[in-house]
């Protein structure tokens, strides 16, 4: 019983995250949703117009597509490890419970 | 009996699948991020933050080797904590300010393993993003590591322990630790930028207000999301790996706590 109420609260946690990320998309129709760092660069440009970045990234993804590929690989890799670890722990705890 | 176990296993596999899918799909949103970009800190400030961050990284490596040597069975949990910040910092989420930013995911590992361990794991994530994604940078790595991998985790660690002492409610403590650490990371980013670029009129304060308006306010809903996701993973750990959590508890209970911090 305890287990199933925990299951429900886990779903609620996920739902909360989805609501939090979808709400701005629905209510801010005209917004561009660019990165906060780009806006910071604009502010730097206003505060100190003569400032020039003195170092360039060694490697830049050649296109938006490649960049999103790399970002999703990062997330996929991490999610894979989390899934593996939690899955292993879960299997192990069930095995122990079956033994008892 | 077996069937019940099978279906509940399937249900939670499905839950994990959905989370992974959500994580992967939302990461594919058009890019930009929010660490201080390559070359955007003047050399003196870049060097300053490198000097501040380095000792924490060295102590962090020592803390990690000590933890994994004493308890090799904790390596998987350590990988999980690292993977959690890896995933969350790939997730660029839309926010109420009409711009995007991503969570940090450092709170979980800081509560589990102590902030020094996270100073290493968080920095690794930043190195990956700086080298492969042109997100953040090598010259600004010291500053970004200080905000995300040092200040955030230390805040998470203390907030968790204070909340536990005051209320004894573990989930509230985890939520607050992860949320506030995430938020603080971007407040620090704003401070770093304001220090390097004080406004001609109004100086540091005026600049800080501008940068905080961009970074910190954007971060509020994302920080809450991070808090919720951290509690979710915590729930899984509590149900499935109570042994590991106990080992960690006993490590922290030992007298050399100041070292494992």
User: Nearest-CA distance from B216 to chain A in Å?
Assistant: 10
Predicted pLDDT at B8: 66
Predicted pLDDT at B10: 67
Across the strands, what pairs with B199?
Answer: B203
Smallest CA-to-CA distance from B189 within B33, B36, B50, B44 is with B36
For B202, phi and psi rounded to 5 degrees?
95, -15
- B203-240 and B170-196 helices, crossing angle to 10°: 150
| 3-state DSSP assignment of residue B32 | coil
**B106 and B56 Cβ atoms separated by less than 8 Å:** no
Q: Give me the torsion for CA of B4, B5, B10, B11, rounded to 10°.
A: 70
Whether the per-residue pLDDT at B260 is higher than 50: the answer is: no
Measured from the Cβ of residue B199, the count of other Cβ atoms closer than 10 Å reads 18
Mean pLDDT over residues A13-33, rounded? 87
Measured from the Cβ of residue B90, the count of other Cβ atoms closer than 10 Å reads 32
Which residue bears the tokens 């705890």?
A93
Q: How many CA atoms lie within 13 A of A78 on its CB side?
A: 27
**pTM of structure:** 0.84
* Strand residues in B95-181 grouped as ranges (E): 99-101
A24 in contact with chain B, both atoms CB, cutoff 8 A: yes
Question: What is the ipTM, given to two decimal places?
Answer: 0.88
Cβ-Cβ contacts under 8 Å for B96 (sequence gap 6 or more): A23, A24, A28, B217, B218, B220, B221
pLDDT per residue as tens digits for the range A4-16 = 677 788 999 999 9
Mean pLDDT over residues B162-180, rounded? 95
Contact assignment for B96 to A89 by CB distance below 8 Å: no
Range from A67-76, A81-90, B126-135, B248-257 carrying the lowest mean pLDDT: B248-257
Contact assignment for B133 to A71 by CB distance below 8 Å: yes
Predicted pLDDT at B31: 32
User: Nearest-CA distance from A10 to chain B in Å?
Assistant: 6
Look over chain B and give the mean of its residue pLDDT values, rounded to a whole number.
Answer: 87
User: Nearest-CA distance from A54 to chain B in Å?
Assistant: 5
* Strand residues in B120-232 grouped as ranges (E): none
A66 in contact with chain B, both atoms CB, cutoff 8 A: no
Q: Give A12's DSSP letter.
A: H
pLDDT per residue as tens digits for the range B124-137 = 999 999 998 888 89
- How many A-B residue pairs are in contact by the CB < 8 A criterion? 258
Structure tokens at B40: 């955007």
Compute the distance between CA of residue B167 and CA of residue B176 in angstroms, rounded to an integer: 12
Mean pLDDT over residues B169-194, rounded? 95
pLDDT band at A59 (very low <50, low <70, confident <90, very high): confident
Range from A8-17, A35-44, B249-258 carrying the lowest mean pLDDT: B249-258
Measured from the Cβ of residue B13, the count of other Cβ atoms closer than 10 Å reads 14
User: Nearest-CA distance from B258 to chain A in Å?
Assistant: 29
Predicted pLDDT at B25: 41
Contact assignment for B30 to A38 by CB distance below 8 Å: no
Look over chain A and give the mean of its residue pLDDT values, rounded to a whole number.
Answer: 87
Contact assignment for A55 to B33 by CB distance below 8 Å: no
pLDDT per residue as tens digits for the range B29-74 = 333 447 899 999 999 999 999 999 999 999 999 999 999 999 999 9
Predicted pLDDT at B240: 92
Q: What b/e sequence results for B113-148 when a residue is b if at least 16 CB atoms lie within 10 Å of its CB, and e otherwise?
A: bbbbbbbbbbbebbebbbbbbbbbbbbbbbbbbbbb
């Amino acid at each position: 019983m305890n287990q199933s109420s925990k299951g429900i609260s886990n779903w609620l946690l996920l739902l909360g995250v989805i609501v939090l990320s979808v709400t701005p998309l629905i209510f801010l129709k005209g917004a561009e949703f660019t990165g906060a760092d780009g806006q910071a660069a604009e502010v730097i440009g206003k505060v100190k117009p003569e400032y020039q970045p003195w170092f360039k990234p060694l490697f830049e993804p050649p296109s938006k597509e490649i960049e999103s590929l790399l970002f999703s690989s990062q997330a996929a890799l991490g999610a894979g490890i989390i899934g593996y670890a939690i899955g292993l722990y879960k299997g192990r705890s069930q095995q122990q419970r079956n033994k008892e | 009996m077996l069937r019940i176990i099978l279906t509940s296993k399937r249900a939670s596999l499905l839950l994990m699948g959905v989370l992974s899918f959500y994580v992967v799909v939302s990461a594919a949103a058009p890019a930009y991020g929010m660490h201080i970009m390559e070359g955007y800190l003047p050399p003196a400030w870049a060097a300053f933050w490198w000097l501040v961050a380095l000792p924490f990284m060295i102590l962090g490596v020592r803390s990690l080797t000590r933890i994994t040597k004493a308890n090799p069975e904790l390596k998987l949990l350590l990988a999980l904590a690292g993977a959690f910040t890896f995933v969350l910092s790939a997730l660029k989420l839309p926010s109420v300010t009409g711009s995007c930013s991503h969570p940090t995911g450092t709170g979980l590992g800081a509560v589990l393993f102590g902030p020094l361990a996270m100073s290493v794991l968080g920095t690794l994530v930043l190195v990956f993003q700086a080298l492969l994604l042109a997100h953040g940078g090598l010259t600004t790595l010291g500053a970004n590591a200080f905000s995300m991998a040092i200040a955030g985790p230390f805040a998470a660690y203390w907030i968790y322990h204070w909340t536990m002492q005051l209320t004894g409610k573990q989930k509230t403590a985890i939520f607050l630790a992860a949320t506030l650490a995430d938020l603080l990371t971007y407040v620090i980013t704003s401070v770093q930028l304001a220090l390097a670029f004080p406004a001609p009129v109004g100086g540091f304060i005026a600049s800080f207000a501008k940068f905080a308006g961009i970074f910190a306010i954007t971060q509020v809903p994302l920080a809450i999301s991070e808090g919720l996701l951290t509690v979710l993973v915590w729930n899984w750990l509590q149900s499935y790996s109570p042994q590991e959590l106990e080992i960690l508890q006993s490590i922290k209970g030992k007298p050399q706590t100041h070292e494992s911090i």
